[in-house]
């Protein structure tokens, strides 16, 4: 494989205006509250195929929704501590923790839901178990119960998220919105519908009641299930299938977030897309820019242009499929430096500009 | 960095099982398929067990239905005496087959009809991982193939694959489920008499929580399963042992991203703890350039100069003087140079990620696959990947 990485080890590439161009090329800025696409939604469920950046998008959405003095809760359910890693903060406990301040004075809290703790909490709520609850834990019963009853784990996870979305303090909601970093698309409908299944399996008792109540929230307009995708074949296909599945299961499909989108080469002059890059044209351009136009350089750069063009073409095919879903679509740029906290704020801003928050 | 010699690995007749692990979205399925194809065309009789392939990739391998049976892949070069079979895992069907094989028809039906079983076999987190291992065990037992390549189920954590059998085994076979299922077996609550008051309170609470119906379903299910298998955990343990057996190798698949490499590192550590043999790391979608001599700085500076020229040409009103290019052309070249700089930044970041991994795990051998502009969905695409895996 040809690579000349060693040549550039000492270099520190500067800032490009490439991604910035995309950030501002989206629809006109919308900064006022009450104008967003998901006004009235209290629980935002963010899913997507593995590797598409669910956690990042969920975090950016929580930040975006919090801006302008609001308060949001970002919830993690898979026990991977992805939020802590993203925000560069210590391991999150099973307790709401403030992790970031949003532009305009908002606050983002985070919660890593632990199924065992959630079960103990419920047991205590329903039976006032107190010390017996601790005994249960000692005997491994909690571990047992969260693993054994099919989906009980998911019931507790969804239940806790719904509870956070509905919690009130001093007569008003504790959070303006709750954003859940949910399991991947392949499992999302089953995950959210687990309460229906459990309500059928456990026909009586508090779990049954709880499951019914959770389903009430999840199927209502207070919930929106957003899917994150990349403009590649498999993630797009999975998104299309996922939306179908959500609709069939009666779950409220929200928006589609296209993540890591690449800008076309002619981003600054879309009207001129007809023109082709020829070796002569490139040579003249390099000379004009003060770069010696060697033959290998020209052919390598042309190869990079071709590769980019075929990717852009694939992306537009994918984009067309996503747009065909008849759901609001948002687009986030690829950050060449990788994901960091600064990048997260930029993504949040992009979501706000596009009206997702 | 130690380069992983994929061809040596797949040509070695001692390599019998290759397990491709890694977090979701890193290209496990494609890697497994490409390895299988390459090994087959180099003369091995291979079966690839895939979990959830992209539709077009599956079609190109002749996998049009989920029938849980290996199918011979056509259009494979078999001149070296090899062959390629492929199959997609049907998790529920695999579980059903295990039940049907081990129980008499009446009891099997009893298990299959049990609501708890139905729920467990189709939705328990971990069933898919466990069934993938079961199927691997079955394929291995037939002795029909001399190399089995396994793709693992999509999950955020690569560790789920290793944890699932024990989780499934230990909850079906654990102390508590035995206590709970005791009444069903002896036909009454007799067994509970011997339990302490605390335990009684606990089962009471549990039955309140999960509901009496569900508890009864679980009890009858476990009783039926128990008489059929004589302990599920034993079976799970035996399957797990296969992964430690001679001839099994793990390939950890990752992309040069922070999260994927962190997962890969966890997995590498875990394999060490479990004394399972790691063949190496496959790093997918690595960006490269042949124009590395043109640095990002110079590229960007030139792009800026070209944009300025284009601007002043436009201000001067249309056509530039002399041999200079049209403003639109200048902008196009500026765009390409910016793109090149961007690419160098990506390469730089990927290299930092890889270096971090290889300094922490210098013993891990690495094979790299370059990022392709398009998706892979035919045998030719798989051959290209196989080629870069083999020759680097």
Q: What is the pLDDT of residues B108-150, one digit of tens each?
A: 888 888 877 777 776 656 677 888 888 898 899 899 999 999 9
**Dist. CA A265–CA A283, nearest whole Å:** 17
Q: Smallest CA–CA separation between B143 and chain A, in Å?
A: 33
8 Å CB contact of B56 and A233 = yes
Q: Which residue in chain B has the smallest CA separation from A140?
A: B176
Which residue of B339, B341, B384 is the best one to mutate when testing the A interface, meaning the one whose CB has the most A CBs within 10 A?
B339
Q: What is the pLDDT of residue B291?
A: 92
Report the SS3 class of residue B65: coil
pLDDT band at B168 (very low <50, low <70, confident <90, very high): low
Which residues in chain A touch residue B23, judged by CB atoms under 8 angstroms apart? 50-51
ipTM given for this complex: 0.77
Is pLDDT of B276 > 60?
yes
Q: Which residue in chain A has the smallest CA separation from B120?
A: A150
8 Å CB contact of B336 and A265 = yes
* Cβ pair B47, B148 in contact under 8 A: yes
Which residue of B211, B220, B355, B378 is the best one to mutate when testing the A interface, meaning the one whose CB has the most A CBs within 10 A?
B211
Q: Please indicate whether residue B171 or residue A21 has the higher confidence score (pLDDT).
A: B171
- Of A334, A7, A314, A122, residue with least CA distance to B342: A334
Q: What is the pLDDT of residue A171?
A: 87
Are residue B260 and residue B307 in the same domain, yes or no? Answer: no
- DSSP state letter for B97: H
Q: What is the pLDDT of residue A312?
A: 85
Which residues in chain A touch residue B368, judged by CB atoms under 8 angstroms apart? 1
The lowest-confidence range among A18-22, B41-45, B151-155, B234-238 is: A18-22
Q: How many domains does chain B have?
A: 2
**Dist. CA A11–CA B322, nearest whole Å:** 36
Q: Please indicate whether residue B383 or residue A195 has the higher confidence score (pLDDT).
A: B383
Please give the average per-residue pLDDT across B10-35, as a whole number. 92
* Cβ pair A350, A23 in contact under 8 A: yes
Which residue of A144, A267, A282, A321 is the best one to mutate when testing the B interface, meaning the one whose CB has the most B CBs within 10 A?
A144
- DSSP state letter for A327: S
Please give the average per-residue pLDDT across B326-331, as a whole number. 86
Query: Could you give the strand order of the β-sheet that contains A177-181, starting from the edge strand earlier in sequence?
Result: A97-102, A106-112, A71-76, A177-181, A43-48, A223-229, A253-261, A329-333
8 Å CB contact of B329 and A300 = no
Interface A–B counts its CB contacts (< 8 A) at 287
**Dist. CA A321–CA B229, nearest whole Å:** 48
Q: Smallest CA–CA separation between A19 and chain B, in Å?
A: 9
Are residue B266 and residue B348 in the same domain, yes or no? Answer: no
Query: Bridge partners of A261?
Result: A333
Residue B108 domain-assigned (yes or no): yes
Which residues in chain B touch residue A56, judged by CB atoms under 8 angstroms apart? none
Q: Which residue in chain A has the smallest CA separation from B201?
A: A132
- Cα within 13 Å of Cα(B105), Cβ side: 0
**Dist. CA B210–CA B206, nearest whole Å:** 6
Residue B281 domain-assigned (yes or no): yes
Which residue of A57, A58, A149 is the best one to mutate when testing the B interface, meaning the one whose CB has the most B CBs within 10 A?
A149
Are residue B245 and residue B352 in the same domain, yes or no? Answer: no
Q: What is the pLDDT along chain A (357 residues), one digit of tens a residue?
A: 444 433 333 333 333 222 333 333 333 333 444 468 999 999 999 999 888 999 999 999 999 999 989 999 999 998 778 899 899 888 898 889 999 999 888 999 999 998 778 877 777 766 666 666 666 665 556 665 665 554 667 878 888 899 999 999 888 999 999 999 998 888 888 889 877 877 776 677 666 777 788 889 999 999 999 999 999 888 899 999 999 999 999 999 999 999 998 776 654 444 344 457 889 989 999 999 999 999 999 999 999 988 888 888 888 899 999 999 999 999 999 886 777 889 999 999 999 999 999
Are residue B304 and residue B275 in the same domain, yes or no? Answer: no
Are residue B351 and residue B377 in the same domain, yes or no? Answer: no
A78, A203, A284 ranked by CB distance to B211: nearest: A203
For residue B27, give the CATH number of its domain: 3.40.50.300
pLDDT band at B376 (very low <50, low <70, confident <90, very high): confident
B176, B305, B334 ranked by CB distance to A140: nearest: B176
Q: What is the pLDDT of residue B196?
A: 42
CATH topology for A11-22+35-265+325-353 is: Rossmann fold (3.40.50)
Alpha helices in chain A (DSSP H): 18-25, 54-66, 82-87, 115-127, 131-138, 141-148, 152-166, 185-201, 205-218, 233-248, 279-288, 295-323, 341-353
Residue B330 domain-assigned (yes or no): yes
**Dist. CA A155–CA A146, nearest whole Å:** 9
* Cβ pair A277, B318 in contact under 8 A: no
* Cβ pair B48, B40 in contact under 8 A: no
Q: Which residue in chain A has the smallest CA separation from B303?
A: A289
Q: What is the pLDDT of residue A271?
A: 39
8 Å CB contact of B296 and A11 = yes
Please give the average per-residue pLDDT across B70-95, as a whole number. 92
Residue B204 domain-assigned (yes or no): no
What is the enclosing helix (H) or strand (E) of A74? strand A71-76
pLDDT band at B268 (very low <50, low <70, confident <90, very high): very high
Are residue B63 and residue B114 in the same domain, yes or no? Answer: yes
Distance of CA A43 to the CA centre of its chain: 13
B154, B302, B344 ranked by CB distance to A290: nearest: B302
Dihedral pair phi/psi, residue B340, rounded to 5°: -65, -45
Which residues in chain A touch residue B330, judged by CB atoms under 8 angstroms apart? 285, 288
Q: What is the pLDDT of residue B275?
A: 86
Count of Cβ atoms closer than 10 Å to residue B390 Cβ: 20
Compute the radius of gyration of chain A from its Cα atoms. Answer: 24
* Cβ pair B328, A275 in contact under 8 A: yes
Cα first-last separation, chain B: 13
8 Å CB contact of B294 and A284 = no
Q: Which domain holds residue B67?
A: 6-162+235-287+371-391
Mean pLDDT of chain B: 82
Which residues in chain A touch residue B344, judged by CB atoms under 8 angstroms apart? 8, 11, 13
Are residue B307 and residue B386 in the same domain, yes or no? Answer: no
Total H helices, total E strands in chain A? 13, 10
* Cβ pair B40, B82 in contact under 8 A: yes
Residue B229 domain-assigned (yes or no): no
Count of Cβ atoms closer than 10 Å to residue A17 Cβ: 14
8 Å CB contact of A14 and B297 = yes
B25, B156, B341 ranked by CB distance to A16: nearest: B341
**Dist. CA B261–CA B287, nearest whole Å:** 16
Q: Which residue in chain A has the smallest CA separation from B371?
A: A307
Are residue B245 and residue B350 in the same domain, yes or no? Answer: no
**Dist. CA B35–CA B46, nearest whole Å:** 10
Q: What is the pLDDT of residue B349?
A: 92
Q: Smallest CA–CA separation between A69 and chain B, in Å?
A: 31
8 Å CB contact of A13 and B341 = yes
Cα first-last separation, chain A: 44
Query: Bridge partners of B85?
Result: B47, B72
> Based on the number of CB atoms within 10 Å of its own CB, is B241 exposed (0-12), middle (13-18) or buried (19 or more)?
exposed
- Of B50, B70, B233, B61, residue with least CA distance to B132: B50
**Dist. CA A325–CA A244, nearest whole Å:** 9
What is the enclosing helix (H) or strand (E) of A223? strand A223-229
pTM of this prediction? 0.78
Are residue B65 and residue B131 in the same domain, yes or no? Answer: yes
**Dist. CA B211–CA A351, nearest whole Å:** 44
Q: Which residue in chain B has the smallest CA separation from A202?
A: B211
Q: Smallest CA–CA separation between B392 and chain A, in Å?
A: 6
Q: What is the pLDDT of residue A126?
A: 62
Are residue B63 and residue B115 in the same domain, yes or no? Answer: yes
Q: What is the pLDDT of residue B326?
A: 82
Which residue of B342, B354, B372 is the best one to mutate when testing the A interface, meaning the one whose CB has the most A CBs within 10 A?
B342
Please give the average per-residue pLDDT across B313-323, as a whole number. 65
Between the alpha carbon of residue B246 and those of residues B20, B162, B276, the distances in Å are: 17, 17, 9
Q: Smallest CA–CA separation between A158 and chain B, in Å?
A: 15
Joined together, the tokens standing for residue B146 give: 């001399």
Which residues in chain A touch residue B347, judged by CB atoms under 8 angstroms apart? 3, 5, 8
Which residue of A1, A51, A130 is the best one to mutate when testing the B interface, meaning the one whose CB has the most B CBs within 10 A?
A51
A7, A18, A285 ranked by CB distance to B342: nearest: A18
8 Å CB contact of A139 and B176 = yes
8 Å CB contact of B211 and A205 = yes
Q: What is the pLDDT of residue A135?
A: 62
Q: Counting every residue, how long is chain B?
A: 392
* Cβ pair A116, A143 in contact under 8 A: yes
Q: Smallest CA–CA separation between B19 and chain A, in Å?
A: 19
Q: Smallest CA–CA separation between A177 and chain B, in Å?
A: 25
- Per the rule left: phi > 0, alpha: psi between -120 and 50, beta: everything else, A53 is left
Which residues in chain B touch residue A291, judged by CB atoms under 8 angstroms apart? 294, 298-299, 302
């Amino acid at each position: 494989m040809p690579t000349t990485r060693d040549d550039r080890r000492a270099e520190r590439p500067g800032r490009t205006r490439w991604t910035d161009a995309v950030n501002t090329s989206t629809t006109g800025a919308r900064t006022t509250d009450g104008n967003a696409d998901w006004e009235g939604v209290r629980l935002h469920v963010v899913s997507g195929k593995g590797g598409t950046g669910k956690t990042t998008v969920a975090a950016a959405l929580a930040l975006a929704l919090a801006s302008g003095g609001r308060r949001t809760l970002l919830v993690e359910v898979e026990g991977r501590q992805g939020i802590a890693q993203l925000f560069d903060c210590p391991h999150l406990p099973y307790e709401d923790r403030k992790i970031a301040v949003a532009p305009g004075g908002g606050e983002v809290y985070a919660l890593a839901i632990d199924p065992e703790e959630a079960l103990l909490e419920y047991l205590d709520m329903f039976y006032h178990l107190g010390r017996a609850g601790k005994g249960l834990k000692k005997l491994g019963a909690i571990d047992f119960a969260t693993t054994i009853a099919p989906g009980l784990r998911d019931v507790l996870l969804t239940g806790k998220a719904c509870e956070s979305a509905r919690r009130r303090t001093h007569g008003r909601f504790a959070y303006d919105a709750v954003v859940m970093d949910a399991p991947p698309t392949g499992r999302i409908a089953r995950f959210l519908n687990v309460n229906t299944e459990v309500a059928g399996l456990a026909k009586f008792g508090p779990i049954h009641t709880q499951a019914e109540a959770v389903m009430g929230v999840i199927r209502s307009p207070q919930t929106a299930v957003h899917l994150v995708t990349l403009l590649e074949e498999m993630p797009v296909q999975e998104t299309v299938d996922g939306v179908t599945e959500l609709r069939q299961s009666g779950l409220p499909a929200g928006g589609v977030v296209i993540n890591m989108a690449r800008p076309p080469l002619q981003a600054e002059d879309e009207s001129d897309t007809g023109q082709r890059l020829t070796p002569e044209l490139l040579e003249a351009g390099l000379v004009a820019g003060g770069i010696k136009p060697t033959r290998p350089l020209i052919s390598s750069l042309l190869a990079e242009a071709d590769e980019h063009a075929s990717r852009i073409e694939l992306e537009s095919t994918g984009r067309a499929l996503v747009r065909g879903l008849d759901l609001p679509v948002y687009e986030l740029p690829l950050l060449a430096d990788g994901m960091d906290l600064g990048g997260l704020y930029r993504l949040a801003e992009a979501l706000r500009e596009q009206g997702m928050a | 960095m130690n380069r992983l010699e994929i061809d040596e690995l797949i040509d070695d007749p001692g390599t019998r099982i290759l397990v491709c692990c890694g977090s979701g979205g890193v290209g496990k399925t494609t890697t497994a398929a490409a390895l299988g194809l390459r090994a087959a065309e180099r003369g091995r009789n291979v079966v690839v067990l895939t979990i959830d392939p992209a539709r077009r990739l599956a079609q190109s391998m002749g996998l049009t239905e989920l029938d849980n049976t290996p199918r011979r892949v056509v259009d494979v070069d078999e001149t070296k005496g090899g062959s390629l079979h492929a199959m997609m895992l049907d998790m529920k069907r695999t579980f059903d087959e295990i039940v049907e094989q081990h129980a008499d028809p009446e009891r099997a039906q009893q298990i299959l009809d049990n609501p708890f079983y139905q729920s467990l076999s189709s939705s328990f987190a971990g069933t898919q991982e466990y069934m993938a291992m079961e199927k691997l065990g079955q394929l291995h037992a037939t002795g029909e193939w001399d190399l089995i390549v396994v793709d693992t189920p999509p999950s955020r954590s690569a560790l789920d694959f290793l944890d699932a059998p024990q989780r499934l085994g230990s909850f079906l076979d654990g102390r508590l489920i035995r206590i709970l299922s005791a009444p069903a077996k002896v036909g009454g609550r007799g067994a509970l008499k011997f339990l302490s008051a605390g335990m009684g309170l606990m089962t009471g609470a549990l039955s309140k929580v999960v509901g009496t119906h569900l508890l009864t379903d679980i009890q009858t299910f476990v009783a039926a399963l128990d008489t059929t298998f004589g302990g599920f955990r034993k079976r799970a343990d035996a399957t797990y042992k296969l992964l430690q057996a001679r001839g099994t190798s793990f390939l950890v698949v990752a992309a040069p991203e922070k999260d994927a490499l962190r997962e890969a590192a966890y997995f590498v550590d875990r394999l060490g703890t479990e004394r399972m043999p790691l063949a190496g790391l496959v790093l997918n979608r690595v960006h490269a350039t042949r124009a590395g001599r043109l640095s990002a700085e110079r590229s960007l500076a030139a792009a800026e100069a070209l944009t300025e020229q284009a601007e002043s040409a436009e201000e001067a009103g249309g056509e530039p003087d002399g041999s200079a290019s049209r403003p639109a052309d200048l902008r196009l070249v500026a765009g390409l140079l910016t793109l090149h700089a961007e690419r160098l930044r990506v390469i730089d970041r990927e290299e930092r990620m890889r270096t971090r991994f290889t300094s922490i795990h210098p013993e891990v051998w690495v094979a790299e696959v370059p990022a392709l502009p398009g998706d892979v969905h035919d045998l030719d695409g798989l051959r290209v990947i196989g080629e870069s895996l083999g020759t680097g």
